[in-house]
Amino acid sequence: QTFAYPAGQGSYEFYSVSTDDDDNVEDAPVRADARLVFNNPPSAPTDPSIPDGSTDVSLSPTLSVTVSDPNGHPVDVSFFDDSDHLIGTVLGVSSGTQASMVWDGLSPETTYGWYVMVDDGLESSSSVTWTFTTQPAAEPVPAENAATTMALLLLLALTGVVMVQRR
């Protein structure tokens, strides 16, 4: 026999009462013979803020995904790198909204992978792994430009001093 969860998500308790051939009916037990918890797992996270294969990504990108739970439960959202190291967790995210986290300290011109796990307290789901490549390092100011800039600043400072002295 099947059970269709008439009240939807939640827990259900069952007990049995037997009747023998002489129509003697067993008393209902004090506690249930079985307990069943009905829960749909959260949906896999979607809509990554950084699409798979992106390039020229910031060295401190904001990772975000849309999360949902078919039962409407708030979920905990954990962000991981592709080596399964935890980047961070956002707790109690409402179903149908986005969870975001900044991933600091990345190296230039490096490819990174990341994925997200969503947990409703009973079950969890995870995303696919997305990858991106970070932007090149900022180009240093060439020494000759730095020297020219310093000379110009010094000249402006001296001109300012001379102008103040002429008053």
Q: What is the pLDDT along the chain (167 residues), one digit of tens a residue?
A: 566 666 666 667 777 788 888 888 888 878 877 777 778 899 999 999 999 999 999 999 999 999 999 989 999 999 999 999 999 999 999 999 999 999 999 999 999 999 999 999 989 999 999 999 999 998 775 656 767 777 767 766 776 654 544 44
CB burial of residue 126 (10 Å; 0-12, 13-18, 19+)? middle
pTM for this prediction: 0.68
Q: Which residues pair with 111 in a beta bridge?
A: 133
Determine the Cα angle at 118 with ends 114 and 124, to 5°: 120
The answer to whether 54 touches 86, Cβ cutoff 8 Å, is no
